[in-house]
């Protein structure tokens, strides 16, 4: 089989790493890929949202299977376009991707089908939003209603913070011109529940947890994720069963009832609150960086799974019992302004899996080329050992413009 993977981050590197282990695969392409992916796949200089060029490439090169990583490509309708040309592709249609691309769609769906989530209201104009916020208990959660790379969410501790966030989102169009979802603040540990979904069939992956804040102790601004680990000792079998039966399965069924059946990875961003497990958000794809700790634990052939989900047959999922912890190395300044182009040295000394998130090759050097740059994953019998190993390996990497957290997995170790 010839396989094309859309995207060029750590998630796609982990997906390609898994695909490369399949005996059915003879050739892998990545668009656009990165310097790490280039060791496993041929990288194409095509943007992940350039749907027409990607369709033409897949058609002309007789690609047997395309797998989509990023939400922007899904929201651009890449799956619809491939299917219209008779090309096999793993991922949800544009209509089904709304579960991620529109917070209002997701919240309205959950309300209509009794899927547990925080109470909310949607506003498109600043003055009514501000009026409502003044009657809300603090903290209050303000979410820009669109794709904002994990940065469109503000948890306002007081009215001043709420006011300036509302101004950013509704008056100054900081993320674009759109609406705001104002939500009740929930408390409890968060976890990521990714499932392969094909219509009304839902096949769970092992649980993982992301670390959204930039600095140790969960301090600093929200990011796209600074590290992850799997499994999660604080989520019981009963919790997992509840999440499957009361959240993921009903959501898959609701998508069918709404006329946009889901095919791909449905990601439940869930919280174990004092009042039970509730949905924080849904994503329509593999999570990043969760994928970089979940797929290294997958022992089944991932190409068989993609094929089964596309065909509506039953995939076999088997997992390594060992624990995985991974640490993001990010450019100094991320998630705000940062510079690129710094040389990364000693990568060859790292004695565990390194996924590239944002790198580029320049002559014989690997240089930083994004906000999140590398992801170092370690597997071990316990989370504690995995964390020690990951921390030790990260310390070997030499680059003057990178920072990382040293407490990944603190809730579990
Ligand atoms: P989201 O992009 O919707 O996942 O939100 C980003 C992060 O903000 C989440 O991972 C949570 O940590 C936090 N968050 C979002 N919604 C809520 C909520 N209703 N209550 C508490 N924290 C929230
Ligand atoms: N780790 C959260 C996400 O992929 O959006």
Domain of 216, CATH number, reads 3.30.470.20
Residue 151 C-alpha to ligand 1 middle, in angstroms?
10
- At 86-135, the pLDDT tens digits run 999 999 999 999 999 988 899 999 999 999 999 999 999 999 999 999 99
Is 108 a domain residue? no
Taking all residues of the chain, what is their mean pLDDT, rounded to a whole number? 95
DSSP β-ladder status, 372-380 and 276-283? unpaired
User: Which comes out higher in pLDDT, residue 323 or 103?
Assistant: 323
Q: Are residues 279 and 219 in the same domain?
A: yes
Whether 3 has a pLDDT exceeding 80, the answer reads: yes
Chain length of the chain = 413
CATH code, domain carrying 392: 3.90.600.10
* Cβ contacts of 333-341, under 8 Å, gap ≥ 24: 334/214, 334/223, 334/371, 334/372, 335/151, 335/214, 335/221, 335/222, 335/223, 335/224, 335/371, 336/221, 338/371, 338/401, 339/401, 340/367, 340/368, 340/369, 340/370, 341/367, 341/368, 341/369
Q: Give domain status of residue 142, yes or no.
A: yes
Pairwise CA distance, residues 329 & 363, whole Å? 22
Please, which pLDDT band fits residue 147 given cuts at 50, 70 and 90?
A: low
| Residue 201 sits in the same domain as residue 268 | yes
Residues 240 and 290 in one domain: yes
Higher pLDDT, 260 or 411: 260
Residue 352 within any structural domain of the chain: yes
Same domain (yes/no): 12, 124:
no
Ligand 1 center–CA 198 separation, angstroms: 27
For the stretch 193-235, pLDDT in tens is: 999 999 999 999 999 999 999 999 999 988 889 999 999 999 9
Q: Percent of the chain scored above 70 by pLDDT? A: 99
Residue 254 shares a structural domain with residue 215: yes
Average pLDDT on 369-387 reads: 97
Does 278 fall in a domain?
Answer: yes
Residue 254 structure tokens: 């609701």
Distance 23 CA to ligand 1 centre (A): 40
Q: pLDDT class for 174, splitting at 50, 70, 90?
A: confident
Is 111 within a domain? no
Q: Which atom of ligand 1 is nearest to the CA of 120?
A: 19
End-to-end CA distance of the chain, in Å? 41
Name the residue with higher pLDDT: 413 or 39: 39
Q: Is the CB of 281 under 6 A from ligand 1?
A: yes
- Could you say which ligand is closest to the alpha carbon of residue 103? 1
pLDDT of 315 > 90? The answer is yes
**Residue 165 sits in the same domain as residue 88:** no
Q: Looking at residues 272-290, what average pLDDT do you find?
A: 97
How many domains are there within the chain? 4
Q: Position of tokens 């009304």?
A: 200
195 and 146 in a common domain: no
Measuring from atom 3 of ligand 2, which residue has the nearest CA?
A: 287
**Domain end call among 253, 276, 311:** 311
- For ligand 2, whether the C-beta of 179 sits within 6 Å is no
User: CA 292 to CA 328: how far, in whole Å?
Assistant: 10
What pLDDT does residue 396 have? 97
Cα 394 to averaged position of ligand 2 atoms, centre (Å) = 22
Does 114 map to a domain?
A: no
Mean pLDDT of 81-85: 98
* Within-domain flag for 195: yes
**Strand duo 372-380 + 365-368: pairing:** unpaired
pLDDT value for 109: 98
CB 76: neighbour CB atoms within 10 A?
Answer: 21
Report the CATH number at residue 61.
3.40.50.20
The token duo for 48 is 């992940």
Task: Pick the last residue of a domain from 276, 311, 346.
Answer: 311
Is the CB–ligand 2 distance for residue 50 below 6 Å? Answer: no
Do 298 and 204 fall within a single domain? yes
Give me ligand 1 centre to Cα 232, in Å: 19
Contacts of 6 by beta carbon, 8 Å cutoff, 6+ apart: 12, 30, 31, 48, 54, 66, 67, 68, 69, 70, 73, 78
Of 56-65, 68-77, 142-151, give the lowest mean pLDDT range: 142-151
Query: 354: domain range?
Result: 323-403
Q: Are residues 19 and 71 in the same domain?
A: yes
* Three-state DSSP class for residue 409: coil
Does ligand 1 come within 6 angstroms of the Cβ of 175? no
> Please, are residues 92 and 284 in contact by the beta-carbon 8 Å criterion?
yes
Local confidence band at 151 (pLDDT 50, 70, 90 cut-offs): low
- For tokens 């749907």, the residue is 51
Q: What integer is the mean pLDDT of 69-96? A: 98
pLDDT band at 178 (very low <50, low <70, confident <90, very high): confident
Q: Which ligand has the nearest atom to the CA of 181? A: 1
- What residue owns the CA closest to ligand 1's atom 3? 281
Q: What's the pLDDT band for 53 if we cut at 50, 70, 90?
A: very high
State the virtual CA torsion across 19, 269, 327, 39 in degrees, nearest 10. Answer: 20
**For residue 149, what pLDDT is reported?**
58
Give percent of the chain above pLDDT 90.
92
Q: What is the pLDDT of residues 334-371, one digit of tens each?
A: 999 999 999 999 999 999 999 999 999 999 999 999 99
For residue 148, the model assigns a pLDDT of 64
Ligand 1 atom 16, closest CA: 280
**283 phi and psi angles, rounded to 5 deg:** -120, 155
* Any domain includes 413: no
The answer on 377 and 337 residing in a single domain is yes
Taking residues 153-160, what's their average pLDDT? 93
Identify whether residues 196 and 291 lie together within a single domain.
yes
The first and second tokens of residue 317, run together, are: 């999922």
Q: Are residues 163 and 194 in the same domain?
A: no
Residue 306, number of CB atoms within 10 A of its CB: 25
């Amino acid at each position: 089989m010839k396989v094309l993977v859309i995207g060029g981050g750590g998630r796609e590197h982990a997906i390609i790493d898994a695909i490369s282990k399949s005996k059915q695969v003879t050739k892998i392409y990545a668009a656009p890929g990165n310097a790490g992916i280039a060791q496993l796949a041929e990288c194409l200089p095509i943007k992940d949202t350039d749907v027409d060029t990607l369709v033409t490439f897949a058609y002309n090169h007789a690609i047997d299977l395309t797998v989509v990583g990023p939400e922007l490509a899904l929201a651009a309708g890449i799956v619809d376009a491939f299917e219209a040309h008779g090309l096999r592709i793993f991922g949800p249609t544009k209509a089904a991707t709304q579960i991620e691309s529109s917070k209002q769609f997701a919240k309205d769906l959950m309300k209509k089908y009794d899927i547990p989530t925080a109470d909310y209201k949607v506003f498109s104009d600043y003055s009514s939003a501000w009026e409502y916020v003044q009657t809300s208990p603090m903290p209050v959660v303000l979410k820009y209603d669109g794709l904002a790379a994990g940065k469109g969410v503000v948890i306002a501790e007081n009215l001043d913070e709420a006011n300036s966030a509302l101004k950013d989102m509704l008056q100054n169009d900081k993320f674009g011109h759109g609406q705001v979802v104002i939500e009740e603040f929930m408390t409890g540990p968060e976890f990521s529940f990714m499932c392969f979904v094909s219509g009304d069939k839902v096949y769970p992956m092992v649980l993982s947890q992301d670390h959204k804040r930039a600095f140790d102790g969960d301090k600093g601004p929200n990011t796209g994720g600074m590290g992850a680990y799997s499994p999660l000792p604080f989520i019981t079998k009963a919790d997992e069963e509840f999440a499957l039966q009361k959240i993921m399965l009903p959501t898959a069924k609701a998508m069918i009832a709404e006329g946009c059946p889901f095919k791909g990875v449905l990601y439940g961003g869930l919280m174990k609150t004092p009042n039970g497990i509730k949905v924080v958000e849904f994503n329509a794809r593999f999570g990043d960086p969760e994928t970089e700790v979940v797929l290294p634990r997958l022992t089944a052939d991932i190409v068989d799974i993609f094929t089964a989900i596309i065909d509506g047959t039953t995939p076999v999922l088997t997992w390594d019992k060992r624990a995985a912890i991974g640490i993001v190395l990010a450019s100094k300044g991320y998630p705000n302004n940062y510079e690129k182009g710094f040389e990364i040295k000693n990568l060859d000394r790292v004695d565990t899996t390194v996924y590239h998130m944002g790198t580029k090759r320049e002559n014989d050097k690997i240089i930083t080329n994004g906000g999140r740059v590398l992801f170092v994953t370690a597997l071990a019998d316990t989370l504690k050992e995995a964390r020690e190993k990951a921390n030790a390996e990260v310390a070997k990497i030499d680059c003057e413009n990178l920072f990382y957290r040293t407490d990944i997995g603190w809730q579990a170790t």
